[in-house]
Structure 1
Amino acid sequence: MLVIQEPANIKEMISHWKEDGQTVGLVPTMGFLHAGHLSLVKESIIQCDRTVVSIFVNPTQFSPNEDLASYPRDLDKDVALLDKEGVDLIFAPHEENMYAADFCTIVEVGGLSQKLAGQHRPTHFQGVTTVCAKLFNIVQPDKSFFGQKDYQQTIILQQMVKDLNIPTRIIMMPIIREPDGLAMSSRNTYLSPDQRKQSLILSQMVKLAQEIYQGGEEYSEYICQKIKQQIQQYSPLLEIKYITIVDPLTLEPVNKISKGDVLLMEVYVGRTRLYDNHIF
């Protein structure tokens, strides 16, 4: 397994794979890998002849008051984990490898990027789409693997590759959870014991929403209000940003729930941002 920093070197190696008729899977990450990331890697290895994992803490998707400087990093551990999984190549660029001093291009998906998390993080998704557009151009993957936990991000990227005719297929894989139910995230390390305990209510609310819906309730407002009440009563440390049920592609709120609609939740616990969701 190779670890490469220069985009030109990555492109040269992948061009040889493509000439041999091999398919390429890409798993974009910011590192500090956990079982959720590794589930994407495993699926890429199953579906593709070659698997590339990018590790890059992308500064353009962080706002000035966010955790760019403190975001957890452990490249040596990540490399060891990926080597054990059988990854072919790690792309671990430095910032200057991705953004030259005169870099001035932004890729933004209008509409979808301004909804939900985009309302209070107005530059976040344009940072994600810009770096992913670069990664797709560098790696030229046949398939790119993302986690359902970041549902809005994945839908935005699906729209981007469709709009720009980028020849990669976005594959969304299910949420991987900790044994206690918390959706896996590199930021979970920020949580104090008490914060973590109260954060478990998110996965409990996923189950509650599923139970209410299966019990015959199809109005989204009732389910969302029930969830908000439970969080406010039992987990006062959680600041709710949104709890909503939306159309799976437009991300517009729905009144009556149909199969495939999505419950999306974002909360803050102190300065730690947590997401969870459920596809009905």
Structure 2
Amino acid sequence: MQTVKSLGVLRTTLGQWRKDGARIALVPTMGALHEGHLTLVRRARAEADHVVASIFVNPKQFGPNEDLDAYPRQLAADAAMLEAEGVGVLWAPTVEEMYPSGFVTNVGVSGVSDGLCGAARPGHFDGVATVVLKLFNQVQPDLAFFGEKDFQQLAVIRTMARDLDLTAPHADNIIGVPTVREADGLAMSSRNRYLTSEQRTAAAALPRAMKTAIAAIKAGAPGAEALAQLQAEIIAAGFSSVDYAVLADATTLAPLAAPGKAPARLLVAARIGSTRLIDNMPVAPAP
């Protein structure tokens, strides 16, 4: 595996792959890799000739009171994991390489980014859209893989690709991979490492309560009632607050009172101690 920190070197390497007619996949990450990230890499390897994984802790998607400085950075360990999975290139630019002096451009994706985490973290999805568009332009992949755990992020990126007529990758080639979970159901996340042992045990109440709410909605319970019960359950388990618990259209993320004919998603963000956890699960369309 080649670790690249210069855009010029990256373009030279990928240019040779393209001359050879290779199909290239991109797996963007912020590092602190876990099994969820490696699952993305495996999917990418199965569908492409070469895989580029990026590691870049993007300052533009962190708010002033968020954990940019504390965000885990372990480039050597991450690189070893990626090499073991058969990644061809690790693209690991510095902040100065990604955002050179004089950088002033901002990419915003209205609508799909406005609610949910977008409401709680102003400017976050502008930072996500800006850096992902740069990664797409730098790598020009045929395919790109993202985890469904960050479902709103995935929706923002697909909308951006569609609206800007991207071809590398085309919106249809931005692949969402189902959330990878721990044995007790908790979604894998780099932020899980912030949890104390007691908080980690309590955190498993989140996916359990979500499954209960989905079952209640499918059985005909009013959505508002099921969501209120979900919030009560996780607060009782030890969470300090719930940022949101929303049933939404899976494409537009517009809130729904009940499942319709289109796919829906239950999305939740809640805080336990100083850690904010997010999760989502699919909700089948109404018959």
Task: Report the equivalent of 1:273.
Answer: 276
Task: Report the equivalent of 2:43.
Answer: 43
- The structure 1 residue matched to 2:231, chosen from 223, 228, 231, is 228
| Residues 218/9 of structure 1: CA separation in 2 closer, same or farther (3 Å cut) | farther
TM-score (norm 1): 0.96
Task: Report the equivalent of 1:125.
Answer: 125
Structure 2: gaps of 5 or more residues: none
Report the CA distance between 1:158 and its aligned residue: 0.2
- The structure 1 residue matched to 2:177, chosen from 169, 173, 182, is 173
Report the CA distance between 1:270 and its aligned residue: 2.4
> Match of 1:201, as an amino acid?
A
Per-residue CA deviations over 1:196-235 (Å, capped at 9, x if unaligned) read: 1221111111321233244x22632122112012122232
Task: Report the equivalent of 1:34.
Answer: 34
> Match of 1:262, as an amino acid?
R
Answering whether residue 247 of structure 2 is matched by residue 245 of structure 1, we say: yes
Q: How does 1:144-155 map to 2 (within 5 A)?
A: 144-155=144-155
- Name the CA distance, whole Å, in 2 between partners of 1:238 and 1:278: 22
Per-residue CA deviations over 1:149-187 (Å, capped at 9, x if unaligned) read: 100000000000001111112100001011222110001
- The structure 2 residue matched to 1:192, chosen from 196, 216, 219, is 196
Per-residue CA deviations over 1:100-138 (Å, capped at 9, x if unaligned) read: 110000011012222111112111000000000000000
- Name the CA distance, whole Å, in 1 between partners of 2:243 and 2:73: 27
Task: Report the equivalent of 2:137.
Answer: 137
- Name the CA distance, whole Å, in 1 between partners of 2:215 and 2:224: 15
Answering whether residue 278 of structure 2 is matched by residue 261 of structure 1, we say: no
- Name the CA distance, whole Å, in 2 between partners of 1:36 and 1:123: 25
Preserved contact between residue 106 and residue 126 of structure 1 (Cα < 8 Å):
yes
DSSP 3-state at the match of 1:114 = coil
Q: How does 1:6-25 map to 2 (within 5 A)?
A: 6-25=6-25
Answering whether residue 200 of structure 2 is matched by residue 205 of structure 1, we say: no
Task: Report the equivalent of 1:99.
Answer: 99
Preserved contact between residue 107 and residue 126 of structure 1 (Cα < 8 Å):
yes
> Match of 1:202, as an amino acid?
L
DSSP 3-state at the match of 1:246 = strand
- Name the CA distance, whole Å, in 2 between partners of 1:57 and 1:210: 34
Task: Report the equivalent of 1:85.
Answer: 85
Structure 1: gaps of 5 or more residues: none
DSSP 3-state at the match of 1:181 = coil
- Name the CA distance, whole Å, in 1 between partners of 2:136 and 2:12: 14
> Match of 1:212, as an amino acid?
A
DSSP 3-state at the match of 2:241 = strand
TM-score (norm 2): 0.94
Q: How does 1:71-82 map to 2 (within 5 A)?
A: 71-82=71-82
DSSP 3-state at the match of 2:26 = strand
